[in-house]
């Protein structure tokens, strides 16, 4: 193994872009970066060590490059934090019975004496109620998934807030009918577009123009309405 493999990986552009979007969303809701991207909460959500979460959020290279060591770190975290209703940890025997892995293999996995297979990971992830890839994904990728979940929650809050504001602004009387934009989901599309950088919005508009031209060409070929302004 070469020395390069021991260098902590740098956070990818996906994580940096996700953090930027979430911070912008949070600011629109009047919430600070520390409030929406608390390292402690993200640490428990993705299994990445707390100090690594802090470093990656700051854009610094960090993380465990060895896949088996990452597995051990996250398995230990799950065993410590995912407990029974009485507050006690699950025993190796209970994990073995529920996951379908033999007790000897469970003990070896926890002790670091056996390398996990994909089947081991899948069974343990199901047992602890975590998504596929939780135990072995790279630290930056795991943190990106946790940040994406925060982004999804904030987008939902934005939609609910927009709906409340629209209802409050509607005239009193009969129930307000949703606008054309709301019925076709334009508000949600516009909200996502607002989170893009300028270059991204330009590319999105170019794509929309191209797609609309394509749809209009297809519609005209299927049903020619005749000369402009002519009615049947």
Between 102 and 231, residue with greater pLDDT: 102
d(CA 182, CA 186): 6
Question: To the nearest 10°, the Cα dihedral for 56, 39, 150, 80?
Answer: 110
Helices (H), the chain: 13-28, 33-36, 39-46, 50-57, 67-81, 92-99, 103-111, 118-127, 139-169, 180-183, 186-194, 198-222
> What pLDDT, in 10s, does the model give residues 73-100?
999 999 999 999 999 999 999 999 999 9
Q: Looking at residue 18, what DSSP letter applies?
A: H
Between 222 and 3, residue with greater pLDDT: 222
Q: Taking the complete model, does pTM exceed 0.75, yes or no?
A: no
User: How would residue 223 be classed by pLDDT, with cut points 50, 70 and 90?
Assistant: low
């Amino acid at each position: 193994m070469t020395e390069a493999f021991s260098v902590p990986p740098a956070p990818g552009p996906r994580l940096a872009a996700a953090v930027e979007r979430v911070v912008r969303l949070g600011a629109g809701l009047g919430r600070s970066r520390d409030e929406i991207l608390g390292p402690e909460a993200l640490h428990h959500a993705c299994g990445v060590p707390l100090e690594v979460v802090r470093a990656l959020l700051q854009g610094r290279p960090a993380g465990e490059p060895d896949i088996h060591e990452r597995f051990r770190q996250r398995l230990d975290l799950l065993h410590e934090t995912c407990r029974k209703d009485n507050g006690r940890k699950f025993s190796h025997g209970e994990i073995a019975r529920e996951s379908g892995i033999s007790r000897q293999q469970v003990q070896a996995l926890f002790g670091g004496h056996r390398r996990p297979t994909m089947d081991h990971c899948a069974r343990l992830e199901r047992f602890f109620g975590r998504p596929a890839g939780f135990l072995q994904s790279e630290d930056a990728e795991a943190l990106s998934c946790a940040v994406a979940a925060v982004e999804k929650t904030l987008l939902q809050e934005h939609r609910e807030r927009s709906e409340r504001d629209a209802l409050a602004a509607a005239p009193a009387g009969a129930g307000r009918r949703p606008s054309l934009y709301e019925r076709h989901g334009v508000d949600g599309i516009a909200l996502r577009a607002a989170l893009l950088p300028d270059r991204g919005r330009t590319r999105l508009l170019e794509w929309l123009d191209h797609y609309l031209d394509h749809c209009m060409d297809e519609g005209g070929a299927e049903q020619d309405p005749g000369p402009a302004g002519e009615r049947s």
